[in-house]
């Protein structure tokens, strides 16, 4: 019994050391001298595990108990820190790679229900007839009830040519529908572009993955082909973020000098300023950047940099407000640890954390043909999340806390129109978007005033 107890204590110590110091790779060890308080805490932890293991009404999995304990510890720090089991760690790495084997749908959890945001145009799911709003109740006959989002994604992804069956419930149908779908290679297209009018271009970035900056430059070359650009609309709405280096590189495309973003952490190595490099070809056309409550993290870095340098006018509604930087460290046995190491600040020193970026021109979204606003009042922002970081270190903003609480009380159940991000990009759809049209009007007006002043 004593030997088993010592074994458990040793296991707990190893896990806590790994989480506390971000151990990288198997076999990487550090010597620590635990103080009495830490030792007593670990002893209690060991005692609890042993008591539960031996006396709980049903048999328990000790490994699962420890994993959940670590997850609880890390998630109590802030909403973006988490322990990643091997499968979740693998999915996180795939999401930034640019392509994967799967069926081609964007999904989310709405009140614990696995829901299709949209099928991606041209993919197997799109061709099979899967629609936005479909509720997935089974994958290969297994219920999705209480299934984590990453688990559902894992089950639907797989090698090209293999079949998967998803069962959906659709509002207009009385019975569930089975879709037998053969997986294919799904490209993750983060950049789309289209001419809005002669001399005026539109670029949409849906997320920041490893090739985003290159894709933006390629889109600019195509929009420039044949005639010079008089103005550009950069759409960052509903862009949840992604890779920090890609946000920096995209900003650098449009800036000639000065800071892009600075990150400040508790440790010196987590504090750094990123600056723009002088461009060989000066891009001096006016820009309008579209943002909304779904614009977060990396997209806020781009918007903040362009706004502070007065390189672009921001139009839309206030962004999400995720101004923290996460890193992912590799643990042993395929696990990963994602945790927050710094806050980021715009060139003018503004913290976006729990505040967001306010547009220069506020325009709420509505569809022209419906004359109905797509309000964002009911959408969660960073400051509504449990355990969120404050805007600046060691600051408490009571007004923010009260507003956050009030917002939670006022939450509305409204369907967001995000599926357009993943569908085809066409001029007709953009002409029905009042924010896009307002942005184009501003660019046209700038050109008129510029000509009249010469």
For residue 205, with 0-12 CB atoms within 10 Å meaning exposed, 13-18 middle and 19 or more buried, which class applies? Answer: buried
Other CB atoms within 10 A of residue 153 CB: 21
Helix 2-21 to helix 36-55 angle (10° resolution) is: 120
Q: Of 138, 154, 322, 381, which residue is the catalytic one?
A: 322
Q: Of 235, 308, 384, 433, which residue is the catalytic one?
A: 308
Q: Is 338 a catalytic residue?
A: no
Q: Is 297 a catalytic residue?
A: yes
For residue 186, with 0-12 CB atoms within 10 Å meaning exposed, 13-18 middle and 19 or more buried, which class applies? Answer: buried
Q: Of 46, 81, 297, 420, which residue is the catalytic one?
A: 297
Q: Is 322 a catalytic residue?
A: yes
Helix H, strand E, coil C: the string for the chain is CHHHHHHHHHHHHHHHHHHHHCCCCCCCCCCCCCCHHHHHHHHHHHHHHHHHHHHCCCCCCHHHHHHHHHHHHHHCCCCCCEEECHHHHHHHHHHCCCEEEECCEEEEEECCEEEEEEECCCCHHHHHCCCCCCEEEEECCEECCCCCHHHHHHHHCCCCCCEEEEEEECCCCCCCEEEEEECEEEECCCEEEEEEECCEEEEEECCECCCHHHHHHHHHHHHHCCCCCCEEEEECCCCCCECHHHHHHHHHHHCCCCEEEEEEECCHHHCEEEECCCCCCCCCCCEEEEECCCCCCHHHHHHHHHHHCCCCEEEECCCCCCCEEEEEEECHHHCEEEEEEEEEECCCCCECCCCCCCCCEECCCEECCCCEECCCCCCCCHHHCCCCCCCCCCCCCHHHHHHHHHHHHCCCCCCCCCHHHCCCCCHHHHHCEHHHHHHHHHHHHHHHHHHHCC
Report how far residue 102's alpha carbon sits from residue 181's, in angstroms, rounded to the nearest whole number. 9
Pair of tokens at residue 104: 């081609």
List residues with catalytic annotation.
Answer: 297, 308, 322
């Amino acid at each position: 019994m004593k030997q088993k107890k010592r074994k458990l204590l040793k296991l707990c110590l190893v896990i806590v050391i790994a989480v506390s110091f971000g151990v990288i790779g198997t076999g990487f060890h550090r010597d620590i001298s635990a103080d009495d308080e830490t030792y007593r805490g670990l002893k209690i932890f060991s005692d609890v595990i042993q008591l539960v293991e031996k006396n709980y009404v049903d048999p328990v999995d000790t490994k699962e108990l420890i994993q959940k304990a670590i997850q609880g510890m890390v998630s109590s720090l802030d909403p973006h820190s988490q322990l990643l089991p091997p499968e979740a760690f693998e999915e996180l790495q795939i999401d930034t790679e640019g392509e994967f084997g799967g069926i081609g749908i964007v999904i989310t959890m709405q009140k614990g229900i696995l829901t299709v945001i949209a099928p991606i145009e041209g993919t197997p799911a799109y061709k099979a007839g899967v629609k936005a709003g479909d509720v997935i109740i089974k994958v290969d006959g297994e219920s999705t009830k209480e299934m984590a989002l990453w688990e559902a994604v894992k089950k639907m992804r797989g090698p090209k040519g293999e079949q998967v069956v998803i069962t959906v419930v659709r509002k207009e149908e009385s019975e569930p529908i089975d879709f037998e779908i053969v997986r294919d290679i799904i490209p993750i297209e983060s950049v789309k572009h289209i001419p809005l009018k002669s001399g005026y271009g539109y670029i949409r970035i849906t997320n920041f993955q490893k090739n985003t900056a290159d894709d933006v430059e390629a889109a600019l070359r195509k929009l420039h082909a044949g005639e010079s650009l008089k103005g550009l609309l950069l759409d960052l709405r509903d862009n949840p973020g992604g890779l920090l280096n890609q946000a920096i590189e995209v900003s650098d495309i449009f800036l000639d000098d000065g800071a892009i973003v600075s990150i400040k952490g508790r440790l010196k190595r987590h504090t750094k300023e990123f600056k723009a490099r002088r461009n060989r070809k000066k891009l001096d056309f006016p820009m309008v950047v579209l943002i909304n409550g779904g614009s977060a993290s990396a997209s806020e870095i781009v918007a903040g940099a362009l706004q502070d340098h007065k390189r672009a006018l921001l139009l839309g509604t206030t962004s999400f407000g995720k101004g923290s930087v996460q890193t992912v460290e590799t643990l042993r046995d395929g696990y990963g640890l994602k945790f927050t190491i710094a806050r980021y600040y715009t060139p003018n020193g503004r913290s976006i954390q729990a505040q967001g970026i306010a547009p220069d021109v506020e325009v709420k979204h509505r569809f022209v043909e419906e004359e109905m606003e797509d309000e964002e009042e009911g959408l969660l922002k960073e400051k509504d999340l449990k355990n969120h970081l404050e805007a600046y270190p060691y600051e408490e903003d009571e007004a923010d806390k009260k507003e956050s609480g009030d917002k939670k009380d006022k939450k509305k159940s409204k369907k967001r129109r995000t599926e357009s991000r993943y569908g085809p990009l066409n001029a007709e759809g953009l002409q029905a978007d009042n924010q896009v049209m307002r942005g184009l009007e501003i660019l046209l007006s700038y050109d008129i005033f510029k000509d009249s002043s010469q």
